[in-house]
C-alpha cells in the first residue's frame, strides 16, 4: 500500500471534503431512511429545499435538520422549483438566513416542468446576482461547455452539468461534452442529475469529474440504503480509476498477459 497516493480532497472554494459524493434529501420514505441512506453514502454535502412551513399544528413535527444536523453535514440549500432568476435568488437568500448566514448554495433555475431542463439565461442572471451578494454558488447547468465557462467566469465555485434529465436515471448521455467542460474548467465539475445506478457514477468519475450529486438514484432504489453504499463505492472506484489512468483501448491484443515462452506444448509459430 506504500505506493497508494493519499486521496485528494474535493475543494470547493475554501472548503474541502473527503467524499466526492453529494446527495439530495428528497423522496425518502421518512427521515430515518434519509439519515441511514446518507450515512451509508458517506456524503458530507447534502442538498435541501426551502419551502413554506406548515402553519397549522407544528408541535412535535419532526424536522429534516434534526435528522441531518448542520453541525455534521454541509448544507447545500437549493433553488429547486424556481423558474426565474428572481425567485431563485429570493429562495436562496431565505436559505442563507435559515442556515445562519451559510453562503454555500446550489443554484438551479428550471426551464419547464416536463423536462426540468435548466433555463440557462435565467441561471446566468441569478448567478451574477448571487455572486455579487457573497454567495458561494454551485450551479446546476446544461452540459454546454460555453455556459459552464461563463458560469465559472461569473465566479461560481463549482459547475454542475446534468448527465441527463433530473430524475430520469438515464445516465451520462454526452460524455464528450462533459470531457470538454472538465478540460476547460478551473473550478470543480460535479455531475448533477441523471445518474441511475452505480456504473453511471463510476463513469462520471472516470471521465475526470470532481464529484457526483444525486438524489433519485438512491431514494428511488428498491433498497435506498444499499444503493447509497453502492454509490459511495462507485464514486471512490471511479475516482481511483481516473487517477490511475486507464490502459489504452485496442481492438485486439498482440500482447497476452501470460508468458509466451515455456509452454509445455509448442503453440502456433510466432
Partner 1 sequence: MNYPIPQEPAPLQGPGPTLRLTVNGENRTFPAPLTCAGLVDALSLAGRRIALERNGEIVPRSRLADTPLAHADTIEIVVAVGGG
β-pairing, 21-23 vs 211-214, is parallel
CB of 267 to partner 1, least distance (A): 56
State the nearest-atom distance from the C-beta of 40 to partner 1, in Å.
16
**Catalytic (active site) residue 106:** yes
Pick the closer one to partner 1 by CB: 38 or 147: 38
Q: Let me know if 100 is exposed, middle or buried by CB neighbors in 10 A (0-12, 13-18, 19+).
A: exposed
Shortest Cβ 25–partner 1 spacing (Å): 4
Three-class SS state of 160: strand
82 vs 154, beta carbon nearer partner 1: 82
Give the separation between CA 141 and CA 151, rounded to whole angstroms.
Answer: 9
User: To the nearest whole angstrom, how small is the minimum distance from the Cβ of residue 122 to partner 1?
Assistant: 19
Nearer to partner 1, 42 or 95 (CB): 95
158 phi, psi to nearest 5 deg:
-155, 145
Give the binding site for partner 1 (CB under 8 A).
24-28, 34, 47-53, 55, 57-59, 63-65, 75, 77-78, 80, 90, 93-95, 97-100, 166, 213-216
Q: Which is nearer to partner 1, 46 or 185 (CB)?
A: 46
Report whether 26 contacts 219 (CB < 8 A): yes
Neighbours of 113 (CB within 10 A): 8
Given the complex with partner 1, which of 150 and 216 has the nearer CB atom?
A: 216
For the CB of residue 27, give the shortest distance to partner 1 in the complex, in Å: 7
Rounded Cα–Cα distance for residues 223 and 245 (Å):
32
174-180: Cβ within 8 A, 24+ apart: 174/143, 175/203, 175/207, 177/143, 177/144, 177/145, 178/143, 178/204, 178/207, 178/209, 179/207, 179/208, 180/145
Which three three-digit cell numbers place residue 133?
451578494
- Residues 119, 83 contacting (CB under 8 angstroms): yes
- Among the listed residues 18, 106, 250, 268, the single catalytic one is 106
**48 phi/psi in degrees, rounded to 5:** -135, 155
The distance of closest approach from Cβ of residue 165 to partner 1 in the complex, given in angstroms and rounded to an integer, is 13
Catalogue the active-site residues.
Answer: 106
Amino acid at each position: 500500500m506504500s505506493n497508494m497516493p493519499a486521496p485528494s480532497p474535493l475543494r470547493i472554494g475554501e472548503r474541502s471534503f473527503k467524499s466526492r459524493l453529494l446527495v439530495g434529501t428528497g423522496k425518502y420514505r421518512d427521515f430515518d431512511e434519509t439519515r441511514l441512506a446518507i450515512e451509508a453514502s458517506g456524503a458530507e454535502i447534502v442538498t435541501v429545499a426551502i419551502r413554506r412551513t406548515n402553519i397549522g399544528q407544528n408541535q412535535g413535527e419532526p424536522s429534516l435538520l434534526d435528522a441531518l444536523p448542520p453541525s455534521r453535514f454541509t448544507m447545500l440549500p437549493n433553488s429547486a422549483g424556481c423558474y426565474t432568476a428572481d425567485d431563485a435568488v429570493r429562495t436562496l437568500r431565505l436559505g442563507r438566513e435559515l442556515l445562519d448566514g451559510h453562503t454555500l448554495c446550489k443554484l438551479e433555475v428550471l426551464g419547464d416542468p416536463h423536462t426540468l431542463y435548466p433555463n440557462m439565461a435565467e441561471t446566468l442572471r441569478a448567478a451574477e446576482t448571487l455572486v455579487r451578494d457573497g454567495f458561494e454558488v454551485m450551479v446546476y447547468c446544461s452540459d454546454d461547455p460555453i455556459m459552464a465557462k461563463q458560469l465559472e467566469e461569473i465566479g461560481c465555485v463549482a459547475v454542475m452539468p446534468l448527465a441527463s434529465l433530473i430524475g430520469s436515471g438515464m445516465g451520462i448521455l454526452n460524455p464528450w461534452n462533459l470531457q470538454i467542460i472538465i478540460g476547460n474548467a478551473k473550478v470543480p465539475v460535479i455531475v448533477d442529475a441523471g445518474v441511475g445506478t452505480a456504473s453511471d457514477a463510476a463513469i462520471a468519475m472516470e471521465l475526470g469529474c470532481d464529484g457526483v450529486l444525486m438524489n433519485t438514484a438512491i431514494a428511488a432504489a428498491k433498497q435506498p440504503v444499499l444503493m447509497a453504499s453502492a454509490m459511495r463505492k462507485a464514486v471512490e472506484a471511479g475516482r481511483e480509476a481516473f487517477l490511475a489512468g486507464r490502459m489504452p483501448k485496442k481492438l485486439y491484443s498482440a500482447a497476452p498477459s501470460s508468458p509466451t515462452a515455456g509452454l509445455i506444448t509448442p503453440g502456433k509459430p510466432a
